[in-house]
Amino acid sequence: MENTYLTKKETLKINEDTYLITLENINFEIGQFLMIETNKLVRKPFILGTWDGKTAISVQIKGKGTKHIVETTQTLKAHFPLGNPFIPPKGKGIVIISPTCLTLANLMTEKYNCDVLVGSKTPLKIKIPFDYAIGDEYFAQKIDNLNTYDWYLISGSKSMEEFVLSKIDSPNVFVSLEEYMGCGIGACKSCAIFTKNGVKHVCTDGPIFRRDML
Ligand code: FES
């Protein structure tokens, strides 16, 4: 595990409030995340992925800390890699994401040749090589007409994840719960969730869980 400064390479606007930031390459496994310290000394988690052959994250501006990460600083104080690697079951899968997980989806397609569906509330500002839906209504239509896959990985807002879970009747559905994390290293206990196997911590037991655990 490393605790160091990473240099931003490029920042691309994905949609109205979400940005893709490429970084110098670091070692990590699919499913792992990093924590970035903001100017307020708060640490925020971001799932790791790739873009244009570089390590990359997607950041939604939600407040001063994320605005600082996107717009102000050129170096990011980061702690990585954290969390457990994710290996999907065999067969054809799909990654259903919000723009905040675009780089994870990109890495998944590179490694597993899976399909991707991106649901964005606002129009996209960059070209992406994936299927996408703009707006909740169109996204819901896409989900209703989804092909059957051997496995599904859902990563987005809590409401989006709950909606997609309610529509897919398969045991092989995996959900990324990184939005629950505070410290990312098992110290603060703020990411505790109640599962069928008792209390789990998203940062050290996840961040990706199979649906029948939840
Ligand atoms: S985020 Fe602090 S214990 Fe998991």
Q: How far is the CA of 180 from the centre of ligand 1 (A)?
A: 8
Question: Are residues 106 and 193 part of one domain?
Answer: yes
- End position of a domain, from candidates 30, 50, 82: 82
pLDDT (average), residues 25-41: 90
| 88 located within any domain | no
- End position of a domain, from candidates 82, 107, 125: 82
Q: What is the pTM of this model?
A: 0.94
In this prediction, residue 38 carries a pLDDT of: 80
| 87 located within any domain | no
Question: Are residues 101 and 55 part of one domain?
Answer: no
Please indicate whether residue 12 or residue 63 has the higher confidence score (pLDDT).
Answer: 12
d(CA 54, CA 26): 9
Find out whether 191 is annotated in a ligand binding site.
yes
The answer to whether the complex's ipTM is over 0.90 is yes
Angle at 45 between CA 41 and CA 50, to 5 degrees: 125
Question: Are residues 111 and 71 part of one domain?
Answer: no
Q: How far is the CA of 72 from the centre of ligand 1 (A)?
A: 27
Question: Are residues 103 and 17 part of one domain?
Answer: no
Structure-block tokens of residue 127: 């070209």
| 166 located within any domain | yes
Residue 213: band (very low, low, confident or very high) from pLDDT cuts 50, 70, 90: confident
- End position of a domain, from candidates 38, 63, 82: 82
Q: How far is the CA of 187 from the centre of ligand 1 (A)?
A: 6
Share the mean pLDDT of the chain.
Answer: 93
In this prediction, residue 57 carries a pLDDT of: 97
CATH of the domain at 21: 2.40.30.10
Question: Are residues 111 and 52 part of one domain?
Answer: no
d(CA 135, CA 213): 30
45 CA closest ligand 1 atom index: 1
* Domain of residue 146, residue span: 93-213
- Count of domains for the chain: 2
Question: Are residues 53 and 112 part of one domain?
Answer: no
| 193 located within any domain | yes
188 CA closest ligand 1 atom index: 2
Q: How far is the CA of 154 from the centre of ligand 1 (A)?
A: 21
Structure-block tokens of residue 212: 């029948």
Amino acid at 198: G
CATH of the domain at 145: 3.40.50
Of 183, 199, 205, best ligand 1 pocket probe by most atoms within 8 Å of the beta carbon: 183
Question: Are residues 55 and 106 part of one domain?
Answer: no
182 CA closest ligand 1 atom index: 1
* Tens digits of residue pLDDT in 36-58: 988 776 888 999 999 999 999 99
Question: Are residues 61 and 116 part of one domain?
Answer: no
Find out whether 101 is annotated in a ligand binding site.
no
d(CA 165, CA 170): 9
